[in-house]
A and B are shown apart, each in its own frame.
Chain A
């Protein structure tokens, strides 16, 4: 066993970094490591759209987080497998790391559904730094876009394209806000409010096929609409990055299942941020959180509980996302009087 504790945090986002900072603050001697599969230091994911639009520079994406001190940050290194019994992490590049306690804050990435498998190769996703670096130029050059799905990031992206004077067709799928499903009324209201953008909106339809021809894409829908576009972007919600935890004995459903204390079923292993499904006593169910402030608080709470505290996580930050005039509760399980909050 190592002389000091080795706390390992999987994930270099707000949850991971705040967990690391809290651990360091409380435990001066422990060895702390952050592992991230992205080759980029801690950055503001929400600013990626601004970066594509050219409104901010690459440097402005980076978070200047001074609280992370004496912490080894392993970038561009993916965890492949966890063995909770021997307390080992197996990295993609075949290195083994011993840990004494673990916080999983691996976030989430674009969701691809099996029903999309026929044309998934032609879809582009822009939910990570890597995606953005890869497609930034292409997005700038392209004129015609087809946005498919339309989750929170998707709407933000849509507005950005709109501000760049691109031609956009948007197909809204009520399931894209997974795990939340839009109601019919919401869908209608959103479409109506989107009309002011002078864009084509498709609802209650499905993508049938996407073919590539001469550098552009032909999208066909089940109801017979055909579109020729330069890029097809998919925004169908996010899926937690938790493949590495499968089969480890840590309870997983869609995300990593944790209790109100953000602890998994395995001692010494915690999860927080958007990769976690957190038990919520109020609604007696598991929920997945969204948004930067939630991730920050969860990171801190996970770290404190890992060190022996018993803090129950509560949701913070914005209570609503404004989706084209329609409010979607980020904490949709809470019974809040909308008038009071608005």
Chain B
């Protein structure tokens, strides 16, 4: 085909959308490794940047909008391995960075709920796509089948290595299986997504503890590399008088017991200590075990709780109260049984290094409340006992996930596992086989209607209190239906579309500024460059003599396309920017 034919064909395509686009708009794809493009992607797609696994969020939401749920699922899976699981219990750092949630923009997009929809709505004919590399004959042992271990195993397996996972417990999944309650994460779904990873030929050895069943040294000998992904399993000690009484639980053990189907005694009145999601899970489980009065008791204020608004709301909805600025000082007993707990009040103080706010107990401020049981969910730390020195990869021993970072969240663990797999691969084959580039593609339209910006966040469907109590494992959130999914998907601004004014064509008429819905188009005098080579924040000017250019600030832009519609010079271009992995 001659070049001219190609040109005219594409032009006809664009004309059919009632607008003729200039030659620059004709589809061109560029793969960039320029630091400025990475900087731009990070700055203007804040959700993706906030995601530890760098999930292509606008990309999959667009696919959801187009009702290509399978495609959306794969876009997720290629980054975060367990979309169905994460779609329920992810810590959602993306949503706190979502541009839609910024001041005056409304509420952030339900990114997590949409992830769940990909998994829920993908057709039965959906096929999982994996780009398998040739076998390398290398063997890797992964210790721990939690999210970090699974992610590492998955990537290593794809890269052609033979992987064996060693799991001390009866079932795989780690915290996913034993830490998170079933009413938040159904176990059949969890097993399905774990199976999807194991199907790559990964061997899973459960009930195999390192140290007792097989020694770490032996692993090192038998395998070319070892990954320690045992997470954080040692609960922080509940170090107050009476902390070891009957009916005083640590949060993790309590959840493990609940998740194994035991019904630990809670009584009528339960005191939960702790400010993280485990504390909330414990409290909500206690309600399901028949407790009538459950409270979460925290040392600092509610603002400092490490849980998101949904969890906060659900806990309140289930009648759980929160008492703040108190810390336990003593458990009151009668006949070796808990009858109450003594608290001490605290106040907030500032410490300078590092600048942080802490709670300080107030002397002689003790008071006590009666209770039947106490659950202390104070966090966990990694169990270092199986290894002799900190893994650094030098001798083929690597580590990933919470074991490295300390107690974090599932998505960080997955990202850690994948990153670790990349390092191991480099160690095993002697070179970097994959790298990330920015894919830039011209895009003809905004893909959106302005009215989408005014759709309110679709509320997640949940079951009522009666149903929650009738069967304690019944999933509380029931997911969006297809219509709700479509509606929520409309809300995404598609920040992966970059809007740019060509300063050489622009006639400075400022028509775009007049129609701008926000302070998103600016007269700029200078674009500073950051030390790392990326572009900094535009410096604005009111003085026409100083105006370097009229520019669209993609960190303010809500991609409404008003500017595009009014520009008399057609000098505003839209470019789709995506981070993708390619072979080196």
Q: Which residues of A contact B (CB under 8 A)?
A: 80-81, 90, 94, 113-115, 117, 246-247, 251-254, 257, 265, 279, 283-286
Partner of A251, one of B301, B319, B362, B363: B301
B316 in the interface (beta carbon within 8 A): yes
Q: Which residues on the B side are within 8 Å of A81 (C-beta)? A: 103
Partner of B316, one of A114, A283, A285: A114
Q: Which residues on the A side are within 8 Å of B534 (C-beta)? A: none
Which single residue of chain A is at the shortest CB-CB distance from B313?
Answer: A114
Q: Which of A90, A246, A257 counts the most B-chain CB atoms under 10 A from its CB?
A: A257
Which single residue of chain B is at the shortest CB-CB distance from A92?
Answer: B104
Decide if A251 touches B317 in the complex (CB within 8 Å): no
Q: Which residues on the A side are within 8 Å of B350 (C-beta)? A: 265
Known contacts A94-B104, A252-B301, A285-B345; decide if A115 and B364 are in contact (CB<8 Å).
no
Q: Which of A81, A113, A284 counts the most B-chain CB atoms under 10 A from its CB?
A: A284
Known contacts A81-B103, A257-B301; decide if A265 and B348 are in contact (CB<8 Å).
yes
Partner of A253, one of B103, B324, B364: B324
Which single residue of chain B is at the shortest CB-CB distance from A206?
Answer: B319
Decide if A279 touches B303 in the complex (CB within 8 Å): no
Q: Which of B296-312 contact A (CB under 8 A)?
A: 301-303
Decide if A279 touches B316 in the complex (CB within 8 Å): no
B236 in the interface (beta carbon within 8 A): no
Q: Which of B151-179 contact A (CB under 8 A)?
A: none
Q: Which residues on the A side are within 8 Å of B316 (C-beta)? A: 113-115
B335 in the interface (beta carbon within 8 A): no
Which single residue of chain A is at the shortest CB-CB distance from B298?
Answer: A253
Least distance between B339 CB and chain A CB atoms (Å): 19
Least distance between A330 CB and chain B CB atoms (Å): 20
Decide if B347 touches A279 in the complex (CB within 8 Å): yes
Q: Which residues on the A side are within 8 Å of B325 (C-beta)? A: 253, 286
Q: Which residues on the B side are within 8 Å of A113 (C-beta)? A: 316
**What are 19 sample pairs from A and B whose C-beta atoms fall under 8 A apart?**
A81-B103, A94-B104, A113-B316, A115-B316, A246-B303, A251-B348, A252-B302, A252-B303, A253-B301, A253-B303, A253-B324, A253-B325, A254-B324, A265-B350, A265-B357, A283-B365, A284-B362, A285-B345, A286-B347
Decide if A285 touches B317 in the complex (CB within 8 Å): no
In the assembled complex, the Cα of A168 lies from the Cα of B363 at a distance in Å of 48
- For the complex of A and B, list the 4 residue pairs with the smallest distance between their C-beta atoms, beginning with the closest: A284-B365, A114-B316, A253-B301, A114-B317
Q: Which residues on the A side are within 8 Å of B357 (C-beta)? A: 251, 265
In the assembled complex, the Cα of A251 lies from the Cα of B350 at a distance in Å of 10
Least distance between A198 CB and chain B CB atoms (Å): 33
Least distance between A84 CB and chain B CB atoms (Å): 13
Decide if B348 touches A257 in the complex (CB within 8 Å): yes
Q: Which residues on the A side are within 8 Å of B302 (C-beta)? A: 252-254
Q: Which residues of B contact A (CB under 8 A)?
A: 103-104, 301-303, 313, 316-317, 319, 324-325, 345, 347-348, 350, 357, 362-365
In the assembled complex, the Cα of A265 lies from the Cα of B300 at a distance in Å of 14
Least distance between A334 CB and chain B CB atoms (Å): 16
Which single residue of chain B is at the shortest CB-CB distance from A245?
Answer: B303
Least distance between B321 CB and chain A CB atoms (Å): 9
5 extra interchain contacts, Cβ-Cβ under 8 A, other than A252-B301, A279-B347? A251-B348, A252-B303, A257-B301, A257-B348, A284-B363
Which single residue of chain B is at the shortest CB-CB distance from A251?
Answer: B348
Q: Which residues on the B side are within 8 Å of A115 (C-beta)? A: 316-317, 319
Which single residue of chain A is at the shortest CB-CB distance from B312?
Answer: A114
In the assembled complex, the Cα of A285 lies from the Cα of B361 at a distance in Å of 11
Decide if B345 touches A284 in the complex (CB within 8 Å): yes
Which single residue of chain A is at the shortest CB-CB distance from B344?
Answer: A284
Partner of A285, one of B319, B348, B365: B365
Q: Which residues on the A side are within 8 Å of B362 (C-beta)? A: 284-285
Q: Which residues on the A side are within 8 Å of B347 (C-beta)? A: 257, 279, 286
In the assembled complex, the Cα of A113 lies from the Cα of B317 at a distance in Å of 8
Known contacts A117-B317, A251-B301; decide if A284 and B364 are in contact (CB<8 Å).
yes
Which single residue of chain B is at the shortest CB-CB distance from A259?
Answer: B347
Which single residue of chain A is at the shortest CB-CB distance from B321?
Answer: A175
In the assembled complex, the Cα of A113 lies from the Cα of B347 at a distance in Å of 26
Least distance between B229 CB and chain A CB atoms (Å): 35
Q: Which residues on the B side are within 8 Å of A246 (C-beta)? A: 303
Least distance between B469 CB and chain A CB atoms (Å): 13
In the assembled complex, the Cα of A284 lies from the Cα of B313 at a distance in Å of 30
Q: Which residues on the B side are within 8 Å of A114 (C-beta)? A: 313, 316-317
Which single residue of chain B is at the shortest CB-CB distance from A283?
Answer: B365
Least distance between B462 CB and chain A CB atoms (Å): 11
In the assembled complex, the Cα of A286 lies from the Cα of B301 at a distance in Å of 12
Least distance between A37 CB and chain B CB atoms (Å): 17
Least distance between A320 CB and chain B CB atoms (Å): 22
Which single residue of chain B is at the shortest CB-CB distance from A81?
Answer: B103
In the assembled complex, the Cα of A49 lies from the Cα of B357 at a distance in Å of 43
Which single residue of chain A is at the shortest CB-CB distance from B316?
Answer: A114
Which single residue of chain B is at the shortest CB-CB distance from A114?
Answer: B316
Q: Which of B303, B364, B365 counts the most A-chain CB atoms under 10 A from its CB?
A: B303
In the assembled complex, the Cα of A253 lies from the Cα of B323 at a distance in Å of 10
Q: Which residues on the B side are within 8 Å of A279 (C-beta)? A: 347
Which single residue of chain B is at the shortest CB-CB distance from A246?
Answer: B303
In the assembled complex, the Cα of A95 lies from the Cα of B238 at a distance in Å of 49
Q: Which residues on the B side are within 8 Å of A285 (C-beta)? A: 345, 362, 365
Q: Which residues on the A side are within 8 Å of B365 (C-beta)? A: 283-285
In the assembled complex, the Cα of A254 lies from the Cα of B325 at a distance in Å of 11
Q: Which residues on the B side are within 8 Å of A80 (C-beta)? A: 103
Q: Which residues on the A side are within 8 Å of B303 (C-beta)? A: 246-247, 251-253
Which single residue of chain A is at the shortest CB-CB distance from B326?
Answer: A285
Q: Which residues on the B side are within 8 Å of A247 (C-beta)? A: 303
Q: Which residues on the A side are within 8 Å of B317 (C-beta)? A: 114-115, 117
Least distance between B463 CB and chain A CB atoms (Å): 13
Least distance between B518 CB and chain A CB atoms (Å): 11
Which single residue of chain B is at the shortest CB-CB distance from A249?
Answer: B357
In the assembled complex, the Cα of A117 lies from the Cα of B348 at a distance in Å of 32
Which single residue of chain A is at the shortest CB-CB distance from B303?
Answer: A252
In the assembled complex, the Cα of A152 lies from the Cα of B102 at a distance in Å of 38
Least distance between A335 CB and chain B CB atoms (Å): 14
Least distance between B296 CB and chain A CB atoms (Å): 14
In the assembled complex, the Cα of A172 lies from the Cα of B329 at a distance in Å of 34
Q: Which residues on the B side are within 8 Å of A90 (C-beta)? A: 103
In the assembled complex, the Cα of A265 lies from the Cα of B303 at a distance in Å of 14
Which single residue of chain B is at the shortest CB-CB distance from A279?
Answer: B347
Least distance between A224 CB and chain B CB atoms (Å): 15
In the assembled complex, the Cα of A71 lies from the Cα of B241 at a distance in Å of 57
Least distance between A13 CB and chain B CB atoms (Å): 24
Least distance between A204 CB and chain B CB atoms (Å): 13
In the assembled complex, the Cα of A115 lies from the Cα of B350 at a distance in Å of 35
Least distance between B342 CB and chain A CB atoms (Å): 14
Which single residue of chain B is at the shortest CB-CB distance from A175?
Answer: B321
In the assembled complex, the Cα of A291 lies from the Cα of B324 at a distance in Å of 24
In the assembled complex, the Cα of A11 lies from the Cα of B103 at a distance in Å of 23
Q: Which of B347, B348, B363 counts the most A-chain CB atoms under 10 A from its CB?
A: B347
